[in-house]
Chain A
């Protein structure tokens, strides 16, 4: 049951909200736990045992870490906690990847019997709740939060139903206390939450699910396309991913808002980024924050890294030290980022791609500053800002072209095929393949994207779209509500000729 299913939107969410509203405040945390576990059960059946076991494990280990005064014992409990959490994740998600890799490496050797792939079912949201659980244990270990004695709070923190499928991956201190506050459901939150859900559904059904048809056609028959058409597929996939992922996160945040719970934002107008590093501060923010908090900073402040930092600073200066430390810290961050998305080499290459780009940013920083100083050109001028945004788009589109590929070899052959007979004329009407979508679909994609772009521009300028809309006069406000509702109902890509499209990030 995805967040775009009628079952979720018309039955599960409203029924849960009504029950939550009707019961006394003190039972509301239990109701959130029960509804979250029920949601998990409806989607993953008996695999709920993974979530319950992880909850009990994390709850207990945090108390044990907090109870001990001995650094050694605390570290031992933390190690045990993380080993079980990540061991389980590795087992369910990566066993077959390792088996495949071993078989590939050993193939052809005498006496080697290929290992059999295992049938392992992956529990819903394990990639998401494992990171939240690990983050919580580390926070307790670093004594930045107290171990929580409220089991229901930990249960909802790890399993909250609007978050379990695609995040956002929250830090304990940012969300946990809200789950047991028993906040009442009030009209303001219902209106704001429902509007956000509708906006998310608009992005998914009107735009993303139509772009899916184009992207799926090119990637399914990649050998038949070349030049600008393949480049267009890369752009379309990036847009599809943004509309779909940010749209489903809108549904998550809107659902939580109905209960008076604020989840962290996962996107901040990523296509206004002026560099690859800025892009990752605006795209899938919660994963970036997790990686920065729990891998990047611990590596940069580790004894080994600080020792290297000091040595390199003394010998080659500050910039060299920054380059070396960045490399030491970014390598595990980007390998983890790639692998987290799934057991495929193209995800690992995707991670390495961004590692290289970010390292280049660090290495070239002095040369870049010297360039602006020498020429006297203003790096904050509109021209340079636009140039950097365009350059970042190319970086993003290329990365997503690889990310979407079914294999590494397909990614490379598609990338190379862009330069084979490239001509902008390929994109002119009449020359472009129809991709099994009609001109009305193309119009829906263009108008829909223009609306989302308009909202993103407004947000970039500090305007909050929902607050803005709610401050309009009643006729305009209701026209906007109905406009959005009917555009989803009338222009949504479902029914004859369309197929339901699963949530992309739910598979990670």
Chain B
């Protein structure tokens, strides 16, 4: 799957959670508490379903969830 497709799918999931956030430019989604832990639960479920990856505890760090780019990179890593 292409990087742009991964990114688009993640963006779709994020918009489903909260469509008022500018995900293209936001770089501190978790650090600035824009996404709370409940949102992260939904997102993890969505990503696992959409990409068939397994997101484990060591991946649960702000760097992986703070931005759309971070999430895309994490999914790419897990798909390899």
- Please give the residue numbers on chain A whose beta carbons come within 8 Å of chain B beta carbons, in ascending order: 142-144, 277, 281, 292-293, 296-298, 300-302, 306, 309-310, 313, 318, 321-322, 325-326, 329, 362
With CB as the reference atom, state the residue of chain A lying closest to B61.
A144
**B4 within 8 A of partner (CB):** no
Question: Besides the contacts A302-B57, A309-B45, A322-B38, what 4 more A-B pairs have beta carbons closer than 8 Å?
Answer: A300-B41, A301-B55, A301-B60, A325-B41
Bound-state Cα–Cα, A420 to B1, Å: 66
Whether B37 and A292, one on each chain, are in contact in the complex, defined by CB atoms closer than 8 angstroms, is yes
With CB as the reference atom, state the residue of chain A lying closest to B45.
A309
Number of A-B contacts (CB under 8 A): 54
**CB neighbours of A322 from chain B (8 A):** 38, 41-42, 45
Task: Count residues of chain B with CB under 8 A from any CB of chain A.
Answer: 20
- Please give the residue numbers on chain B whose beta carbons come within 8 Å of chain A beta carbons, in ascending order: 33, 36-38, 40-42, 44-46, 48-49, 54-61
**Is chain A's interface secondary structure helix, strand, loop, or mixed overall?**
helix
With CB as the reference atom, state the residue of chain B lying closest to A299.
B57
Whether A313 and B58, one on each chain, are in contact in the complex, defined by CB atoms closer than 8 angstroms, is no
Whether B45 and A297, one on each chain, are in contact in the complex, defined by CB atoms closer than 8 angstroms, is no
Whether B42 and A301, one on each chain, are in contact in the complex, defined by CB atoms closer than 8 angstroms, is no
**CB neighbours of A296 from chain B (8 A):** 37
Please pick, from A293, A310, A362, the residue contacting B49 in the complex, using a CB distance under 8 A: A310
**CB neighbours of B38 from chain A (8 A):** 277, 322, 326, 362
**CB neighbours of B54 from chain A (8 A):** 306
Among B40, B42, B46, B48, chain A packs the most CB atoms within 10 A around the CB of B42
Bound-state Cα–Cα, A292 to B54, Å: 19
Given contacts A142-B58, A297-B57, A301-B60, contact A306 B42 (CB under 8 A): no
Please pick, from A144, A292, A321, A329, the residue contacting B45 in the complex, using a CB distance under 8 A: A321
**CB neighbours of B57 from chain A (8 A):** 142, 297-298, 301-302
**CB neighbours of A292 from chain B (8 A):** 37
Bound-state Cα–Cα, A292 to B57, Å: 11
Please pick, from B33, B46, B48, the residue contacting A281 in the complex, using a CB distance under 8 A: B33
Among A301, A310, A362, chain B packs the most CB atoms within 10 A around the CB of A301
